[in-house]
Structure 1
Amino acid sequence: MRPPRRALLAGAPLGVIALGASACTGDRSSGGGTGPSAALPTAAAFTDEEVRGSMSALPELPAPADLRTVRLADGLVPPTNRWFSGLVFGDEPQTVHPLPLSFALVDGGFALGLPTVTTSARTIMGAHVPEVEVAVAGAGSGIVSAYDEASVRLDLLGGDGTALATVTIAEGWPCVALQARAALDLTLSTAFNGAATAAEPATLTVGEHEYGLRLEGGDLDGARCSLEADGWVTLFAVPVGGTAADVAPAAVPLRGTSLTRSVSDDAARATLTYETADSSPTVVAAMPHHGADAGAAEALGTYPSVYGTLVLRPGPDLTWSAPRRTVRAALDLSGLDDDAREELAAQVVADVAGLPDYPADTYFGGKALHRDAQLLAIARQVGADEAAAGLEERVLTQIRRWTEVAGAEERDAFCFTYDATNRGVVGLTPSFGSEQFNDHHFHYGYFLHAAGTLAADDEDLAAELAPVMDALAADIACDAATDAVPVRRVFDAYASHSWASGTSPFADGNNQESSSEATTAWAGLELWARARGDGELAAGAAWLLAHEAAAARAYWTDFDLADPVYECFEHSVLPLQFGGKRDYATWFSPEPAAALAILALPMSPSSDHLADDPERVRRNIAEATASGGFAQQYGDWLLMYAALGGEDDRAAALEAARELADEHLDDGDTRSYLLAFILSR
């Protein structure tokens, strides 16, 4: 299913999770509201000692990939899979998209701008336009010197490597702030007019966009600015419907951002706190999934973006919630009648007999384990005992092979190592650029889901698999401050979804395609946490799943077609999301069936978010099958998705599934699972 795309291009209710990350200037905790049914804060799921222990137990990768971390300060964990990764990795820095702005490092300074969003039949584009450029006298290169949940700090260096100034950017922050480390001069690409104070900001209009400027400890003279040591200047974008005077009082350099999370019975809540250097209030632009109302009395205006209208509102906190999702280890077949059980039992026998050899790489290998764990769960439920016995031996033998801690010392496949240079777990037979940290949550999510399913009622098996599975969990979901792996490697709290590219070598920013494999990863993490009896990890996984699923609906499968950004867009799903672009396209196929299938597979037992809007399911299916029906590649995933459209759709999907040719069954699926999924809806 997954051809080399990025590699070629480069259940019990749980309480609040207290997982605030450190700000740029050091560790701190932040406040944040809790939901009405939320409990008191509990401990984080990981500790530095535990994570270090997990990583040190694995053999060290002898020849790590050279990710070219040429713009990263010493001592920082390489920030793979982040919205700003393109600033760090590669010979030249890439543009990044901390909405509502875009930002680029340029020789001797930086550039920023608001996108001019354009929508065509297949693409929503918000490319970087350097509408304001700032040159810093004596500056050459820039490096990332600190980062946290949503903000990044960059040092602009002189020829001798001394930091002349520090620049701060952040997701959701309509400002770029520069603080002088010593007296220095700046040259702006265009003159600003005004006093440059909080009460009377200087302004500049570029095309349709207005920018403001405020400074402390310096002077502005048109396009020239002089700053004293520790003086600062903040450039900001003025929102539509607002004024520079509305924003200027809040345009103070950030100290950093932090995240507070909570999980209640029915919701997962998030609060991002933006702390300014002098603890004065600031402003935050909310994305559509944050639920901000442009018509609210507190709204200060709006910004266009490729994700829809952003609403500027007072900070320092941005708080939102997502529905909690039910996680299941397997399909529930308890309601099937005798005929259905007999049909499935016969199909299980046929499927077990025809299973192929296990792939050696981390993507297809994990996917096959997930497939067989689900097939075993079906076999047990429908009474296919003989087939279940053989399948159990097969899948347990294979997962034990993958979880031999020292496996990489004996072979070059079916094993994991620790990359001490790039800080993470890597399989010795990588795929899709996983050695460059592409797609780790997709790959390891399958392993965790399979392990959580197989060990759901087997404490001894969970303990046996734990050394390697705990390392995979930490690689993608660590919430502790440690230098062994990044904090939540792939997950972006502000955007509420994951990023798949390790180094993000794209001018459009980082990207993610398979939102459904991302949700499967967090469901798998929760299943593994349950098998381990780890309540804190289960709560953290529930929070990740809730927000990833909400974002998947808001931007991939069920986005609000009434938002003006979709006015000229001619499709009902958006498979490929970048920071500054959204495409009706995939990395591997131009077919409409692929465009929906990559947002549905592997249709896990916990894929309920895909069923929230039956009418949209039917619309999405109509588009995906318009040219080829279900009798085509990925038809099995489409049939399972179609069954979510209602009882009539389910019945039609079941009939078609029984007739679907074997050639249209994906390697991560079986006909048993296809039928069982539809029968159990």
Structure 2
Amino acid sequence: MDDTHTSTDRTGLTRRTYLRALVAGGVLTGSGALTASAAEDAAIEQIGAGSIAHVKPEAAGAPPRTVYATDDLDAPYPSNDWWTTLLWRPLSENLWVHPLAARVTETGLALSYPDEWQVRDAPFTSGPRTDDFAEMGPSDERPIDADLTLSHPGVSDGTAARVADYGDWSVTYRRADGAAGIDVTLTQGSPFVYCETANGGVEVGLDGDASVWHERDHVLGVTVDGHHYGLFAPPGGSWDVGDDGTVASDLGGEGYASVALLPEASPKVLNEFRRRAYAFVTDTTVTWEYDADRSVVVTEYDFEVDAKHGDAEETLTALYPHQSRWVREDLTDWSYVSPRGEMSVRAGSGFTTEHPFRGLLPFLPDVADVPNLAAHVDAVESEETLIRDWQGEGTYWTGKNYERLLQLAPIAEQVGDAAAAETFRDAMRDELETWFSAGSDGTVDETDLFWYDDVWGTLNGTPMGFGADADLNDHHFHYGYWVKAAAELARVDPEWAAEGQYGGVVNHLVRDYANPDRNDDRYPFFRNFSPYAGHSWASGSGELPAGCNQESSSEAINAYAALLLWAEATGDEELRDAAVYLYTHEIHAALEYWFDVADENIPDDWGYDYAAIVWGSGYKYATWFNQDAESVHAINYLPVGGHSLYLGWNREAAAANWRELVENDGGDGEFDLGWYTDVLWEFRALSDPDEALSWYENDYTGGDFAESRAHTAHWLYTLDTAGTPDATVSANTPLYAVFNDGQRRTYVAYNFGDDSEAVTFSDGAELDVGPNSIATTTRPVESNPTLSGAFPTVDAEAGGGNGESDDDENGRGQRGGRGD
């Protein structure tokens, strides 16, 4: 079997090879795509007024120089997804496909269906707390417990698996040994595994207590350790059931077969799966639309299928809760369990979801009388060093400095201190420009720069930390702060942000972690965001048994909020729409899986109602750096700003999360760690502004790193005055928010444009927003419409703002209707 993709289409090439050919030929050029240039061959590439290096600094880390892909694939390679361990090693780590789990082993592809929760001590951290980790699957450091092992008899044990093709949530790998070989396609959410072979058939090892309950020519129904599977050879083929626990088929010489996880063992279900078993998924594509008039994100998930037999054009796919809650189409009666909760099955060639988008603000408005606010601004302005060093000077900690200053600049403007605002922006500008210059006279600097790795197609900083360079971890966490700082500069200095000045380098950061352009030949599509999972992964390689993970959902949301602010500041509507899509999905996933606001997805017997880290295999109530409850909760609140209001969309859920924090931190409400006190009380203000403000007025001592007293005071007094976020009201502009104190609503919108903008809210309120400015208006609460989904019903009589809501509804949305 040669090293080319065995499936055929109208081009004879893989989708990405085809697209690259078009780009190279000048047929396709996306608005953000830059083809390779002669400048890339030099040590330093000039980009506007800035530059990046093409030489790895000596102190920098880098991902492996060997990438396990076939020869017809090249950089940029994806990372940070459920399957990207396949690129990092000759055989894979555990692959949490959902509902299936898989692993490429020495002998073949091991498949299993983890369907029982295990609760135990958290892996990968030390500490006294027990029962911190809930997962479906094996114990910490061993492979999945296989039900089946799928292999090609002509491929030697240990033959490397190489990625041959991939879609937005699917992957095909190849194991080839001379003329014999097998291509296997795995698709997230799919119960099917597809294989195509050369010079031979397939063998399926039954690895547990197995029974065959259906055997008819080319279709086999088997149960292994209580899990049910269908094995589908081509019509005309057959299965040979051996006494050694192995079944085999020569596939009738056709060279293809599929295996499916079945929701139950019955001939009727087996036949329904057989009808779709030969519609091989060859590509998966997500597209999105931001409907501003309705303030929703419409997302389409499409499957490209190749009918190996018959004319079936539909497949079966299992939807995650964040999809089934907002899906347009009907669903079947079948479902699977998974580490994300129940996955309901859809039959078709795709499906569409509509998620509410409730806006964000670059900063909160000036609606409250905040005592001594000008003095708090002056206190920071007088600091000798505004770019502070706490735990290191890498891209993450430098970004945290930016967050503090970009919050302070607009507050300084609100108190009439233009000089302080410019001081804060000057500090950010100087630091950004230092990093945005890779060297001079052809000599690359050793530190404080960005360099392009053409082996993988990624932009790394030096220094970084947290494995961000060697493992490609956390790029969205780091770079989100940088892009957000650039957006604040662009708000007042659009020339600085122009492509010919420093905006060009900012756009390289954007393209590295959140590139919406599949045709870009320098950066992959959506590096961090996993379109089917609905959220990002922080782990670049997924090189741990529990799979990929993400600790700080809030920093991921911050990264996409930064993207939206940058797009608005630079007038890039295409990027704006992608940012709205990313921001909205990341929020809904955070509410579903980290906060479980509908109380449906995290296991009841775990002992926690919230997860600090979501893993491919489950949930963890601990951070990577400690198991203190203050850190465990704050890591999914920070940084707090105008993008964080989703944390208060369901006040009762926010109050319940606060109670869990306090209970697990000793029960006295005194936070002794000292790292996140401001952040914790800013979160509390989203459910009980009175209590949060009382803490500030009686017990405030000093700001956290990346926080300031000015910002904390401004946040707490604003929410105490305006009320908590009201998600039942939307607007026809991306930068907006609505607050509700039970008696009145406060409507806020920001306009980055050069002309005034008329904003209309869904309850009839209107607001005229001047050029590059923020505006507010208020009016009495006349009605409180209910919004389906992971939001509460706003009840004016219950207070709606100050104090905790009496509404204890989970706010479950309407899942897609059940079909036959």
Q: TM-score, normalised by structure 1?
A: 0.87
Moved more, 235-244 or 480-489: 235-244
- After superposing the two structures, state which structure 1 stretch, 62-71 or 485-494, moved more: 62-71
Letter in 2 for 1:672: A
How many residues of Structure 1 are paired with residues of Structure 2 in the alignment?
633
What is aligned with 1:13? none
Conserved? CA contact 1:119–1:567, under 8 Å: no
Task: Note the alpha carbon deviations across 1:131-183, whole angstroms, 9 max, x for none.
Answer: 0112311213321111110110011211x4x5611111100110111111233
Instruction: Please say which of residues 213-222 and 308-317 is displaced more in the overlay.
Output: 213-222
Structure 2 counterpart of 1:118: 117
Quote the residue 2:99 is aligned against: 100
Aligned counterpart in structure 2 of residue 60 of structure 1, from 48, 51, 54: 54
What's the counterpart of residue 15 of structure 1?
Answer: none
**Pairing 1:539–2:525 present:** no
The code of the aligned residue for 1:369 comes to Y
Cα deviations by residue, 1:319-366 (Å, 9 ceiling, x for unpaired): 21222131322221x2123xx1x5211111112323554443100101
Aligned partners of 1:168 and 1:177 also within 8 Å: yes
Of the three residues 24, 46, 58, the one matched with 2:32 is 46
Aligned: 1:621 with 2:654: no
Q: 2:300 aligns with which of 271, 293, 299?
A: 271
* 1:578-609 residue CA offsets vs partner (Å, 9 max, x unmatched): 11121112111201111110110001211121
Structure 1: distance between partners of 2:37 and 2:661: 43
Deviation at 1:117, TM superposition (A): 2.3
CA distance in 2, matches of 1:146, 1:289: 27
- Letter of the structure 1 residue corresponding to residue 553 of structure 2: S
1:204 match: 222
CA separation in 1, counterparts of 2:256 and 2:387?
62
Of residues 467, 470, 480, the one that matches 2:507 is 470
Greater relative contact order structure (CA < 8 Å, 6+ sep): 1
What is aligned with 2:276? 250
Structure 1 position 312, deviation (Å): 1.3
> Which position in structure 1 is the counterpart of 2:286?
259
Identity of aligned residues (%): 27
What letter is aligned with 2:271?
A
Residue 258 and residue 53 in structure 1: after superposition, are their counterparts in 2 closer, same or farther (change >3 A)?
Answer: farther
CA distance in 1, matches of 2:418, 2:331: 63
Tell me if structure 1 keeps the 8 A contact 2:326–2:354: no
1:180 and 2:197 matched: yes
For residues 15-65 of structure 1, give each alpha carbon's deviation from its aligned partner in whole angstroms, at most 9, with x where no partner exists.
Answer: xxxxxxx99932699xxxxxxxxxxxxx96533449998995421132662
Equivalent in the alignment of 2:752: none
Does the 8 Å contact 1:592/1:624 carry over to 2? yes
* Aligned partner of 1:302 among 335, 345, 348: 335
Structure 2 equivalent of residue 237 of structure 1 = 261
Are 1:420 and 2:454 counterparts?
A: yes
Looking at structure 1, the residues matched to 180 and 437 of structure 2 have their Cα atoms a distance apart, in angstroms, of: 46
- Distance in structure 2 (CA, Å) of the matches to 1:71 and 1:219: 33
Contact 1:154 1:168 in 2 (8 A): yes
Structure 1 partner of 2:679: 637
8 Å contact kept, 1:284–1:318: no
Separation in 1, partners of 2:402, 2:37: 25
Residues 141, 156 of structure 1: 8 Å contact kept: yes
For the residues of structure 1 that align with 2:609 and 2:281, how far apart are their CA atoms? 38
Matched, 1:602 2:644: no
CA root-mean-square deviation: 2.8
Measure, in 2, the Cα distance between the counterparts of 1:475 and 1:629: 41
What's the counterpart of residue 353 of structure 1?
Answer: 382
Q: Please tell me the residue identity of whatever aligns with 2:230.
A: G
Structure 2: distance between partners of 1:233 and 1:399: 54
Q: What residue is the counterpart of 1:497 in the other structure? A: 535
1:79 corresponds to: 78
Q: 1:304 is matched by which residue type in structure 2?
A: V
Could you tell me which of 450, 472, 476 is aligned with 1:441? 476
> Could you tell me how far apart the structure 2 residues matched to 1:56 and 1:227 are?
53
Of residues 669-678 and 187-196 in structure 1, the stretch that sits farther from structure 2 once superposed is 187-196
Question: How far, CA to CA, are the matches of 1:66 and 1:122 in structure 2?
Answer: 31
More helix by share: 1
Q: Matched residue of 1:435: which SS?
A: coil
Q: Please, which moves more after superposition, 52-61 or 453-462?
A: 52-61
* 1:26 counterpart (15, 20, 34): 15
Counterparts of 1:375 and 1:619, CA distance in 2: 30
Alignment of 1:507-518 (within 5 A): 507-518=545-556
Distance between the aligned counterparts of 1:293 and 1:554, measured in 2?
12
Amino acid at match of 2:62: A
Post-superposition offset of 1:392: 3.4
1:438 deviation in Å?
0.6
SS at match of 1:479: coil
More off after superposition, 397-406 vs 165-174: 397-406
Match of 1:524 among 562, 586, 598: 562
> Using the alignment, how far apart are the partners of 1:370 and 1:213 within structure 2?
54
**Of the two, which has the highest radius of gyration?**
2
Deviation at 1:442, TM superposition (A): 0.4
Check 1:47–1:236 CA distance in 2 against 1; reply closer, same or farther (3 A cut): same
Q: Relative to structure 2, which stretch is displaced further, 127-136 or 394-403?
A: 394-403
Q: Deviations over 1:113-136 (max 9, x none)?
A: 100321535333112321011231
Compute the displacement of 1:629 (Å): 2.0
Q: Secondary structure at the match of 1:141?
A: coil
* 1:138 counterpart residue number: 154
Work out the CA distance in 1 between the residues paired with 2:559 and 2:699.
Answer: 28
Classify 1:138/1:662 alpha carbon distance in 2 versus 1 (closer, same or farther; 3 Å).
farther
Other structure's SS at 2:399 match: helix
Q: For each residue in 1:208-263, what CA deviation from the matched residue of structure 2 results, as whole angstroms up to 9, or x when unmatched?
A: 21111111163211112213554211111111597222222112221111112111
CA distance in structure 2 between the aligned counterparts of 1:466 and 1:136, rounded to whole angstroms: 51
